[in-house]
């Protein structure tokens, strides 16, 4: 199964545009869009959404998310991957990284895995 992305609301909306320019068939939602959690959704609810929607989260939230993620896993939850965005990464570079990951891997490879992008 191809990766389905969920972009954190704190990331620029231009990231989705840049990613879809690389391939318009990529399944990508941004928090706050129809079909995704609403803006200001709390981390535990986002993690539950990831588990049930089979989406990989792309975020720069390194403050509260790690503790909520540990609690989510301790409660038996799963995620379909999470990418922490390195600070000051240009949007074009980030879109290219996500496109390459989408092109070269399957969603199941990222279950319960965390990584930094760019690598």
Report the CATH number of the 4-117 domain. 3.40.50
Is residue 23 within 8 A of residue 102, CB to CB? The reply is: yes
Give the separation between CA 64 and CA 53, rounded to whole angstroms.
21
Domain boundaries, the chain: 4-117
The percentage of residues in the chain with a pLDDT greater than 70, rounded to a whole number, is 100
Chain segment 104-119, per-residue pLDDT in tens: 999 999 999 999 999 8
The yes-or-no verdict on residue 50 having pLDDT over 90 is yes
Tell me the pTM: 0.95
Sheet holding 56-59: strands in order across? 27-30, 4-7, 56-59, 82-85, 114-117
Chain segment 80-109, per-residue pLDDT in tens: 999 999 999 999 999 999 999 999 999 999
| Burial call 88-97: b when 16+ CB within 10 Å, e when fewer | ebebeebbeb
Give the separation between CA 40 and CA 118, rounded to whole angstroms.
26
């Amino acid at each position: 199964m191809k990766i389905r992305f969920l972009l954190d609301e704190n990331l620029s909306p231009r990231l989705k545009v840049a990613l879809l320019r690389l391939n318009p068939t990529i399944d990508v939602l941004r928090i706050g869009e129809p079909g995704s959690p609403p803006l200001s959704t709390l981390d535990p609810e986002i993690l539950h959404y990831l588990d049930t929607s089979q989406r990989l989260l792309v975020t720069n939230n390194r403050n509260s998310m790690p503790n909520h993620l540990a609690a989510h896993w301790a409660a038996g939850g799963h995620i379909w991957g999470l990418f922490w965005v390195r600070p000051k990464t240009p949007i074009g570079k980030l879109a290219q990284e996500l496109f390459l990951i989408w092109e070269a891997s399957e969603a199941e490879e990222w279950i319960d895995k965390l990584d930094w992008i760019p690598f």
